[in-house]
């Protein structure tokens, strides 16, 4: 097994630095605009993308690559604020469905314009259309590879049905 070359290390550190800087800026904007954490924003945004505004908790946790216990805590915080509601799934009493409330949609709408402007300015303003296409072409397969080996806390649950 061989180590990483200088260009590989530089690319790796660039990706991690960009990710950290972008995450910090986004976290600040979400906190200031809607008193949301990035995970809470992802939960609300994911629910708003669902045609009925509802999804199973485990499906959301798997999509955002977040531990189920951490997700449960964040969902509890959102529920206390009246931004979501949790209820047993109609087809499986062991599953919990999370639904976006009108108040949740209002908070999401309030933060979304500023969020999109920040991401556009910090990430995409310095890119050409060709750069964006290259970024998607390069990082898509990396993301797919990482999804094949997610962290333990984010791995899909095994079915316990017999």
Query: Residue 162 — very low, low, confident or very high, per pLDDT cuts 50/70/90?
Result: very low
Q: Tens of pLDDT along 22-80?
A: 999 999 999 999 999 999 999 999 999 888 888 888 888 878 877 778 888 999 999 99
Which pLDDT belongs to residue 53? Answer: 82
pLDDT of 136 over the 70 cut: yes
Let me know if 106 is exposed, middle or buried by CB neighbors in 10 A (0-12, 13-18, 19+): exposed
Domains of the chain: 9-154 (1.10.10.10)
Which pLDDT belongs to residue 160? Answer: 47
Strand partners, 87: 97
Nearest partner of 54 among 91, 101, 18, 94, judged by Cα:
101
pLDDT of 151 over the 90 cut: no
Which pLDDT belongs to residue 161? Answer: 45
* HEC string for 74-119: HHHHHHHCCCEEEEECCCCCCCEEEEECHHHHHHHHHHHHHHHHHH
Q: What gap in Å lies between CA 118 and CA 124, rounded to an integer?
A: 10
Q: Tens of pLDDT along 85-119?
A: 999 888 877 888 999 999 999 999 999 999 999 99
Terminal C-alpha separation, the chain:
42
């Amino acid at each position: 097994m061989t180590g990483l070359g200088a260009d590989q290390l530089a690319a790796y550190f660039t990706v991690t630095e960009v990710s950290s800087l972008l995450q910090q800026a986004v976290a600040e904007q979400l906190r200031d605009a809607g008193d949301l954490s990035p995970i809470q924003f992802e939960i609300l945004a994911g629910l708003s993308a669902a045609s009925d505004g509802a999804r199973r908790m485990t499906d959301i946790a798997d999509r955002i690559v977040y531990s189920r216990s951490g997700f449960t805590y964040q969902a509890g915080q959102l529920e206390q604020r009246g931004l979501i509601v949790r209820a047993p799934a109609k087809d499986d009493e062991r599953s919990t469905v999370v639904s976006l409330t009108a108040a949740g949609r209002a908070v999401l709408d309030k933060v979304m314009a500023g969020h999109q402007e920040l991401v556009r300015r910090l990430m995409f303003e310095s890119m050409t259309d060709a750069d964006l296409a290259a970024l998607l072409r390069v990082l898509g397969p990396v993301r797919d590879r990482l999804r094949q080996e997610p962290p333990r806390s984010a791995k899909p649950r095994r079915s316990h049905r017999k």
